[in-house]
Amino acid sequence: MYTQERERELIELTRRLLKELGTIKKADFEKAKVYAEKLREVIRYHDYKYYVQASPVISDYEYDQLFRALRDLEKKYPTLITPDSPTQRIPSEITGKFPVVEHLSPMLSLDNAYSEDELKEFDRRVKEAVGTDKVEYSVEPKYDGAGIALVYEDDIFRRGSTRGDGERGEEITNNLKTIKTIPLRADFSAFGIRLIEIRGEVLISKEEFKKINEERIEEGLPPFANPRNASAGSIRLQNPREVASRKLDAVVYQVSYVEPEEKAPKTHYEAVRMLHILGFKTPFPDMRVFDSIDGVISYCREWEEKRDMYPYEIDGMVIKVNNREFYEALGFTSHHPRWAIAFKFKARQATTRILSVVFQVGRVGTITPVAKLEPVQVGGVTVSSVSLFNEDFVKEKDIRVGDTVLIERAGEVIPYVVSVVKEARKGDEKPIVFPETCPSCGSKLVKLPGEVAWRCINISCPAQVMQRIRHWASREAMDIKGLGEATVKALYKRGLVKDVGDLYYLKAKDIMTIPGFAYKSAMNLTNAIEDSKNRGLDRVLYGLGIRYVGLTTAKRLVKKVKSIWDFKNITMEELTRIEDIGPIVARSIKEFFSREENWKVIEKLHKAGVKLEVEKIEREGPLKGKVFVFTGTLRCCSREKAGEIVEKLGGIFSNTVTSKTTYLVVGEDPGATKMRRADQLGIKKISEEEFLEMIKDYVDVEKLSEERKKMTLF
């Protein structure tokens, strides 16, 4: 998309603009016009580096400065705003209802194949229809998101819509403009194209999906069943600002209409390559062309194996005839084109029966109904219980004990009741009755204003206390092996542990009073507890179970403090200045640290020697004292991974070249700024091979490259 020379120019221009921020602010109309254009150019470039290539060349802070400068100019002189300005990605107004628009060509669905035989049958039909055996097929992932159609006219993104009924969809242009992988302007005219409609999918990564659902559960909202529903729900939100806050991605995979017609790419491969060159996210590196159906089949199998490692949910592979000139001869049925077929992976849904419903008390007192199921295999895993989340979820789906339900377990996602099979009802199914008192401590349950969940508000409720201890010991928190649910319960019942602080004063002889524990296993547990003292402040903060503080938030918090004691005086303002921390999260943190009883626990942890300070980097290891900066693409692994390795071996990983840098490791397509700075400061540059040489005795370099190959899926 950008030549090396152009990249250099744009980086140079970025530097200049950053230096001239003061002047830009004061610019008169004529100067502002020039600056606005320049700012747009560089912002577009940095969006591309960040979102498409995932290798930014400036810091987030610098990016924000440029973005703000442009936004301020446009505010001062609104006539300068253009529809493709990067600022238009976050529209300020509420859209209201979505208008309905007609697609330039109907959005059909795909025919499905579930076996190799069905693929062979497809191959036979295609060859018969086109009258030759020389047919190439392209194969690409079938993304499980929400289908979209994008229209570009004279290089500008004019209109985006949902699939709708195939003929007409909802116009959601403003929402789609918030997705940074959809360019607001793309140089189709360089390909002689004036008007084009392209098809694609809005996606949510599995990681982001997990995060959104955790937040929804915390807020008492029903979580999304799968990333597909989350994407579909997100692009239809009425407020584009909210859309922008969900980290959505878009991948495009089909050109469906072109004017002038003769400029349409001749093959599907060329079409996707064009989109790739123009800066879209496409199936490009994962798309392969085969000249035999056997090649197609083995590629599909290969992907079925690795689907779980892919960052996005995919439910199959799409096989398309590569030569688009054959499309006409092949034609369409009323539902799908005959030039494409979807090879569907094994289903991750199954039906089973609800045997009973139990009510669990969470660590903040939330009561969650959990359905016990007749065990069933879903995508290779036995599922025997499923969360029903809250009363609203149960009511909305009208779930009853004895019902037959459809269960889905997408990827590593928790199982979910998709629907009740009402046709299977016999009449003896029983409604789910919510308790009025806490199943653990018996206190009256309450529903707080604005919340969906019933809650036990007795903070000494045994179930809550035990859940809090369990959470502290969990893998992502303090990772105390051997401290499972049963042990926590036994320790609590014996009065040995009343809060997480007590764990660090446990003696092996006390633990041995629990049935099933002998000297050795008791020692193992005390050792595991001892080992957990140095997990770091981020995991302590997460482990304390502060409402809304997940591991990501905990990591962000730790960057701003020296020790846990800093939370004594932290202000709302300081908290909300931290990325992703809004007033609700900030208030929850303030509230937690304003409670005397919480500080008592923290004191106990401190006296026991649990590390509550942010670790000063003074590590041991073969790279001790050496500061590494990486630039360009590494063949062995991502830069983040390389950084992890450096830190593990005692070195320091940094993103900027300074006089303290020991080595600049140069990968492919190195960044001009870092290279120049290294030259200016006389920093030693080394190749990736030299870096690998340094670490090869400590790290399995070959395995690293293998993993890298598997992970470069986009």
Which residues here bind ligand IVH, judged by CB under 6 A? 108-110, 140, 142-143, 147, 163, 199, 201, 253-254, 283, 318, 337, 340, 342
CB of 256 to ligand IVH, least distance (A): 7
Nearer to ligand IVH, 112 or 655 (CB): 112
Edge-first strand order for the sheet with 146-153 is: 156-162, 146-153, 195-204, 248-259
Determine the residue with CB nearest ligand IVH: 147
Catalytic option among 142, 180, 210, 344: 142
CB of 183 to ligand IVH, least distance (A): 19
Whether 142 is a known active-site residue: answer yes
CB of 184 to ligand IVH, least distance (A): 22
Residue of 2, 4, 3 lying closest to 671 (CA atoms): 4
**Phi, psi dihedral angles at 415 (to 5 degrees):** -60, 155
The Cα-based distances of 11 to 35, 72, 312, 539, 672 in angstroms read 15, 22, 32, 38, 8
Secondary structure (H, E, C), 310-353: CCCCEEEEEEEECEHHHHHHHCECCCCECCEEEEECCCCEEEEE
- DSSP code, position 31: H
The Cα–Cα gap between 408 and 102 comes to 33
What is the dihedral sign for C-alpha 228, 233, 236, 242? negative
Nearer to ligand IVH, 49 or 281 (CB): 281
Nearer to ligand IVH, 166 or 431 (CB): 166
**Phi, psi dihedral angles at 175 (to 5 degrees):** -65, -45
What lies within 8 Å, CB to CB, of 184 at 6+ separation is: 83, 84, 85, 86, 88, 89, 156, 157, 177
CB of 415 to ligand IVH, least distance (A): 24
Secondary structure (H, E, C), 60-116: HHHHHHHHHHHHHHHHHCHHHCCCCCHHHHCCCCCCCCCCEEECCCCCCCCCEECCH
Q: Coil, helix or strand for 133? A: coil
Nearer to ligand IVH, 110 or 354 (CB): 110
Nearer to ligand IVH, 164 or 543 (CB): 164
CB of 140 to ligand IVH, least distance (A): 5
The Cα–Cα gap between 346 and 275 comes to 30
CB of 320 to ligand IVH, least distance (A): 7
CB of 709 to ligand IVH, least distance (A): 22
Nearer to ligand IVH, 272 or 361 (CB): 272
- Helices 206-218 & 227-235 angle (0-180, nearest 10): 80
Nearer to ligand IVH, 342 or 549 (CB): 342
The encoded tokens of residue 153 equal: 């006219």
Among all residues, which ones are annotated catalytic?
A: 142
